[in-house]
């Protein structure tokens, strides 16, 4: 099969479009024909060698966000069959989905939303699961809460804004001015231009902060949370004990692949309450360019690598 692999850690130029062995599947896995793969920050972090937990063998296929069709079913797999359209987020410690085929464990995929094509569906799982679990499982966001979302125009943020509004929360977001109208259209109640204004001098009484940035943004977020508020971070928590001493609950997490959560995301999308946003679609062979674009940090929604042309796109 064709795949994009790395043979060394390094820059985007390490991504090579080449022939790779077709993956074998275990009895608890399915072989998926990949139609499209979403591109996420974890991809370039592993490419750089900065995610030691998921680092492993070479050559290595990156990409852990996909939509496709089941090609083959393992002997122990029940409830799924060849031809089923699925999407999901596989285990990032294994070979990924920048490829024509991938082996995926049961529990790491769900039924693809019927209302969107594979390109849109391929960018849902990782960011959608992160937003869903970050806000509700870890953030315990409730109707009427005030939530501050950093990086709101990006992949996770785009889903987080919509999910928070669906829950009935009051949503504040930090953004550059160029994304202000976009975020207002998504439902953000207050957009704060971080290039012109210090959010920590304007915002107060926040119940939940969803932090995808870390650093000074995380430090400043502590000051805007009310006592008992929750600082939920996708990039790790610095000095958790000090944060707790201020009456704030710090939570660092990485999204988990769960079929039931993927089912909820599919239902929200098919009911029109959640819209996946795709900023750019590139062919699989241009994975290096996709990484360069994502690392610039100004992407709205998701960048997608298309593997199979669709007639209904």
Q: What is the rounded distance in angstroms from the CA atom of residue 2 to the CA atom of residue 9?
A: 20
Q: Which two tokens stand for residue 236?
A: 């790790």
Q: What is the pLDDT of residue 55?
A: 63
Q: Are 183 and 153 in contact (CB under 8 A)?
A: yes
73-104: per-residue pLDDT in tens? 999 999 999 999 999 999 999 999 999 999 99
SS3 14: helix
212-248: per-residue pLDDT in tens? 999 999 999 999 999 999 999 999 999 999 999 999 9
Does residue 113 share a domain with residue 133?
Answer: no
290: CB partners within 8 A, 6+ apart: 39, 280, 282, 303, 305
Other beta carbons within 10 Å of 272 = 8
Q: What is the rounded distance in angstroms from the CA atom of residue 38 to the CA atom of residue 166?
A: 24
Q: What is the rounded distance in angstroms from the CA atom of residue 195 to the CA atom of residue 222?
A: 20
Pairing relationship of beta strands 101-105 and 66-73 according to DSSP bridges? unpaired
Pairing relationship of beta strands 190-193 and 170-175 according to DSSP bridges? parallel
Does residue 89 share a domain with residue 197?
Answer: no
Q: What is the pLDDT of residue 128?
A: 98
Whether residue 300 is contained in a domain is answered as yes
Whether residue 138 is contained in a domain is answered as yes
Whether residue 313 is contained in a domain is answered as no
Q: Kindly report the pTM of this predicted structure.
A: 0.94
Other beta carbons within 10 Å of 33 = 18
Does residue 113 share a domain with residue 214?
Answer: no
Does residue 120 share a domain with residue 8?
Answer: yes
Does residue 150 share a domain with residue 69?
Answer: no
Does residue 135 share a domain with residue 244?
Answer: yes
CATH of the domain at 225: 3.40.50.720
Q: Which two tokens stand for residue 6?
A: 């790395």
> For the chain, how far is it from start to end, CA to CA, in angstroms?
24
Q: What is the rounded distance in angstroms from the CA atom of residue 223 to the CA atom of residue 201?
A: 9
Looking at 209, 236, 252, the residue that finishes a domain is: 252
Whether residue 257 is contained in a domain is answered as no
Does residue 241 share a domain with residue 168?
Answer: yes
Domain, as residue range, for 240? 127-252
Whether residue 69 is contained in a domain is answered as yes
Does residue 83 share a domain with residue 56?
Answer: yes
Q: Which two tokens stand for residue 20?
A: 């790779």
Q: What is the pLDDT of residue 313?
A: 41
Other beta carbons within 10 Å of 267 = 12
Q: Are 13 and 7 in contact (CB under 8 A)?
A: no
The count of structural domains within the chain is 2
**pLDDT tens per residue across all 313 residues of the chain:** 999 999 999 999 999 999 999 999 999 999 999 999 999 999 999 999 987 666 678 999 999 999 999 999 999 999 999 999 999 999 999 999 999 999 999 999 999 999 999 999 999 999 999 999 999 999 999 999 999 999 999 999 999 999 999 999 999 999 989 999 999 999 999 999 998 999 999 999 999 999 999 999 999 999 999 999 999 999 999 999 999 999 999 999 999 999 999 999 999 999 999 999 999 999 999 999 999 999 998 788 999 999 998 865 4
Reported as type and span, the H/E element at residue 191 is strand 190-193
Other beta carbons within 10 Å of 152 = 26
Q: Nearest Cα to 129, choosing from 8, 216, 311, 253?
A: 253
Whether residue 268 is contained in a domain is answered as no
170 forms bridges with which residues in the sheet?
A: 146
CATH of the domain at 56: 3.90.180.10
Whether residue 204 is contained in a domain is answered as yes
Whether residue 267 is contained in a domain is answered as no
Q: What is the rounded distance in angstroms from the CA atom of residue 92 to the CA atom of residue 65?
A: 10
| Radius of gyration for the chain, computed over Cα atoms and rounded to the nearest angstrom | 19
Does residue 178 share a domain with residue 115?
Answer: no
Does residue 150 share a domain with residue 110?
Answer: no
Does residue 244 share a domain with residue 134?
Answer: yes
Q: Which two tokens stand for residue 58?
A: 């070479």
Q: What is the rounded distance in angstroms from the CA atom of residue 146 to the CA atom of residue 153?
A: 18
Cα-Cα-Cα-Cα torsion 189, 190, 194, 197, nearest 10 degrees, comes to 180
Does residue 222 share a domain with residue 165?
Answer: yes
């Amino acid at each position: 099969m064709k795949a994009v692999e790395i043979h060394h850690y390094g820059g985007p130029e390490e991504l090579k479009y080449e022939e790779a062995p077709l993956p074998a599947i275990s009895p608890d896995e399915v072989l998926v024909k990949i139609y499209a793969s979403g591109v996420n920050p974890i991809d370039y972090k592993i490419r750089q060698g900065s995610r030691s937990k998921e680092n492993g063998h070479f050559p290595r296929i990156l990409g852990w966000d996909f939509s496709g069709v089941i090609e083959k079913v393992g002997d122990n797999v029940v409830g799924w069959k060849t031809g089923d359209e699925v999407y999901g987020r596989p285990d990032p410690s294994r070979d990924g989905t920048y490829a024509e085929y991938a082996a995926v464990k049961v529990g790491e995929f769900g039924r693809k939303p019927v209302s969107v094509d594979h390109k849109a569906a391929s960018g849902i799982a990782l960011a959608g699961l992160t937003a869903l679990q970050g806000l509700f499982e870890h953030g315990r966001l409730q109707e009427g809460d005030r939530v501050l979302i950093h990086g709101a125009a990006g992949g996770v943020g785009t889903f987080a804004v919509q999910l928070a509004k669906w829950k009935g929360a009051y949503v504040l977001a930090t953004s550059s001015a160029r994304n202000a109208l976009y975020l207002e259209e998504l439902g953000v109640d207050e957009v704060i231009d971080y290039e012109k204004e210090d959010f920590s001098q304007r915002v107060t009484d926040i119940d939940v902060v969803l932090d995808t940035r870390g650093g000074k943004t995380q430090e400043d977020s502590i000051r805007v949370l009310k006592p008992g508020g929750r600082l939920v971070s996708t990039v790790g928590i610095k000095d958790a004990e000090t944060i707790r001493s201020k009456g704030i609950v710090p939570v660092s997490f990485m999204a988990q692949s769960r079929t039931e959560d993927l089912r909820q995301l599919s239902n929200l999308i098919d009911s029109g309450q959640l819209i996946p946003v795709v900023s750019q679609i590139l062919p699989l062979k241009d994975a290096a360019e996709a990484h360069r674009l994502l690392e610039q940090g100004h992407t709205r929604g998701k960048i997608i690598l298309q593997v199979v042309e669709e007639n209904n796109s």
